[in-house]
Structure formats: structure tokens, C-alpha cells
Amino acid sequence: VQLVESGGGSVQAGGSLRLSCAATGYIYSRYCMGWFRQTTGNEREAVASIDIDGRMAYADFVNGRFHILKDSGDNAMHLEMNNLKPEDSGQYFCAAADFYCRGDLLPRDAVRDSGYWGQGTQVTVTS
């Protein structure tokens, strides 16, 4: 399985970006998928997740600005980011894991133990 992100780039504060993640290989329908990010000086953290039933979860810092969605075929996922702030700048990673999120954020350890990471895409928000 490979996860390939696209859609990163540079945008001014207040702008929007749409990240996409395409999965090659077979992603079991039971997989939880999500987006993580790593900002300068910080550990990789969960941004948003979507489980097998389509339930979404967001980190507190999202505060209603982002929206995660999956294509109907379950092998593609997107993150729509609005009202971006400079502190949102960083490397964004797509992830999938054989884990039941049950409407919660996908844990980083679950991806490490039973999942896959994309290579990351850079998001830069300028003030």
C-alpha cells in the first residue's frame, strides 16, 4: 500500500488549500484514515480523521476551519483547509491504519503499529 499526497503549497493567511491523498493497493474498508502534520519543533500530531462509518474527528486547533472527506471508493481522501494561519505551516501527512477510530482521532501509534504513512506535502502560510 502506498499513500500519495498532493495539494500542498504556499498561501497567504486567511486563504484555503485542499490536500488530497490517493491510496494505491488495497485499503481495507475497515481502515481509519486521517491527516497528521509536523510543524517546526513539534512532534507529528493528528489533524483530522475519518472512520469506516464516515464519522469525523478534528484536533482542537482546527476550530471548524478544516473538513475531511473520503471519496466513495474509500481509496482517496481529502482535507479542505480554510482560514489558514501561519501556525498551520508544516508538513502534512496522510495516514491509514487497521484501527477502529469510532469517531475519534486516529492515534499516531496505531499508524506505527498497523498502518501506512504518505511521504508528506508541505503547507506554507505566510502572514
The pLDDT tens digits for 58-103 are 999 999 999 999 886 667 899 999 999 999 999 999 999 999 999 9
pLDDT of residue 73: 66
> Which residues, 6+ apart, have CB-to-CB distance to 73 below 8 Å?
none
The string of pLDDT tens digits covering residues 18-70 is 999 998 877 766 789 999 999 988 999 999 999 988 999 999 999 999 999 98
Check: CB of residue 82 under 8 Å from CB of residue 30: no
Question: Using CA of residue 62, residue 15, residue 38, residue 25, what is the dihedral sign?
Answer: positive
pLDDT of residue 69: 94
Residue 113 has pLDDT above 70, yes or no: yes
